[in-house]
């Protein structure tokens, strides 16, 4: 195996929100965890690129989190300025939860502009937030991703079975974390997802493992739990997840 080939995948982690983020980047290298370091604002993106420089296992996503749109929509021009410097975009999307619903109209405007920009450039891989609004997210993807060269990955998907089926038919992938694998409702949904569209994530530091923030090196535990959910051996599940990861790279 190539020394730079990953063994595991964490396709959604907020590395810059850990106080020990440099140590975690070293862990990604030592344990060979391919990690997508998502950002929540365009202004945070250059710093993330700087601290991930030199790591073959850490990719940096350019993001504008929907929960921050009310305060950060004016960073859209900066987002578009940086877009040509990365294949990875995230965290982006929509959030219709009660705390953020007041900005939902502005969120939709920002999300549509981001999707159009990604479609124009082509070849982007998106990590997408879709709280209480999966149908709205899918409508935007259908409307704005017309070129066919953009890959949407639905982070922490909480939609219905029909929405999952619709998303899969559109070419979406789904990133699964340990919190989802502790929820009977989420497990029932995961079992219906196409295995060739699954990826693992931690969403650290927001998800906890053993009462501490999850780290990319915790992914093997999620792979084991996902294998049990799908009725597969851990080795087969790990191999499939790597195959899925390489298919979008």
pLDDT digits (tens, 9 = 90+) for 139-169: 999 999 998 999 999 999 999 999 999 999 9
Q: Which residue has the higher pLDDT, 221 or 2?
A: 221
Non-local (6+) Cβ contacts of 218 within 8 A are 178, 202, 204, 209
Q: Report the relative pairing of strands 125-131 and 212-213 from DSSP bridges.
A: unpaired
- Asked if the model's pLDDT at residue 115 lies above 50, the reply is yes
Q: What is the mean pLDDT of the chain?
A: 97
User: Rounded to an integer, what distance in angstroms lies between the CA atom of residue 167 and that of residue 152?
Assistant: 9
Q: What is the pLDDT of residue 185?
A: 95
User: Rounded to an integer, what distance in angstroms lies between the CA atom of residue 107 and that of residue 196?
Assistant: 30
Mean local confidence (pLDDT), 37-60: 97
**Phi, psi at 156, each rounded to 5°:** 50, 55
- Asked if the model's pLDDT at residue 244 lies above 50, the reply is yes
Q: Which residue has the higher pLDDT, 39 or 147?
A: 39
pLDDT band at 3; cut points 50, 70, 90: low
Burial class (CB in 10 A: 0-12, 13-18, 19+), 182: exposed
The percent helix, strand, coil of the chain (3-state, each to 5) is 50, 20, 30
User: What is the percent of the chain with per-residue pLDDT over 70, rounded to a whole number?
Assistant: 99
What's the chain's Rg over C-alpha atoms? 17
CA distances to 153, 160, 175, 178, 241 from 199, rounded to whole Å, are: 9, 19, 4, 12, 6
Q: Any idea which residue has 């070419």 for tokens?
A: 171
User: Rounded to an integer, what distance in angstroms lies between the CA atom of residue 198 and that of residue 187?
Assistant: 13
For residue range 219-238, what is the model confidence (pLDDT) as tens digits? 999 999 999 999 999 999 99
Torsion of CA 29, 30, 31, 34, to 10 degrees: 10
Mean local confidence (pLDDT), 45-55: 96
User: Rounded to an integer, what distance in angstroms lies between the CA atom of residue 94 and that of residue 108?
Assistant: 7
Mean local confidence (pLDDT), 193-211: 97
Q: What is the pLDDT of residue 4?
A: 79
Non-local (6+) Cβ contacts of 129 within 8 A are 65, 66, 67, 91, 92, 93, 94, 95, 155, 156
The fold of 8-248 is: TIM Barrel (3.20.20)
For residue range 60-80, what is the model confidence (pLDDT) as tens digits? 999 999 999 999 999 999 999
Q: Domain map of the chain by residue range?
A: 8-248
- Asked if the model's pLDDT at residue 33 lies above 90, the reply is yes
User: Rounded to an integer, what distance in angstroms lies between the CA atom of residue 145 and that of residue 196?
Assistant: 21
Q: What is the pLDDT of residue 1?
A: 36
């Amino acid at each position: 195996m190539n020394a730079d080939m990953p063994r595991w995948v964490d396709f959604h982690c907020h590395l810059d929100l850990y106080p020990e983020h440099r140590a975690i980047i070293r862990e990604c290298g030592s344990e060979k965890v391919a990690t997508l370091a998502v950002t929540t604002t365009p202004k945070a993106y250059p710093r993330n690129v700087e601290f991930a420089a030199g790591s073959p296992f850490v990719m940096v996503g350019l993001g504008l989190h929907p929960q921050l749109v009310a305060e950060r929509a004016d960073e859209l021009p900066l987002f578009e300025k940086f877009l040509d410097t990365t294949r990875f975009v995230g965290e982006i999307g929509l959030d219709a939860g009660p705390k953020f619903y007041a900005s939902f109209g502005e969120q939709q405007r920002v999300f549509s502009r981001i999707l159009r920009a990604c479609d124009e450039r082509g070849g982007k891989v998106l990590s997408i937030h879709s709280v209480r609004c999966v149908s709205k997210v899918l409508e935007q993807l259908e409307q704005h991703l017309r070129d066919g060269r953009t890959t949407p990955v639905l982070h922490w998907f909480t939609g219905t079975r029909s929405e999952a089926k619709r998303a899969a038919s559109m070419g979406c992938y789904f990133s699964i974390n340990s919190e989802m694998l502790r929820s009977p409702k989420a497990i029932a949904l995961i079992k219906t997802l196409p295995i060739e569209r699954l990826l693992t994530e931690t969403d650290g530091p927001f998800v906890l493992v053993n009462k501490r923030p999850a780290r990319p090196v915790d992914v093997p535990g999620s792979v084991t739990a996902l294998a049990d959910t799908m009725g597969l051996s851990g080795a087969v599940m790990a191999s499939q997840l790597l195959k899925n990861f390489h298919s979008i790279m």
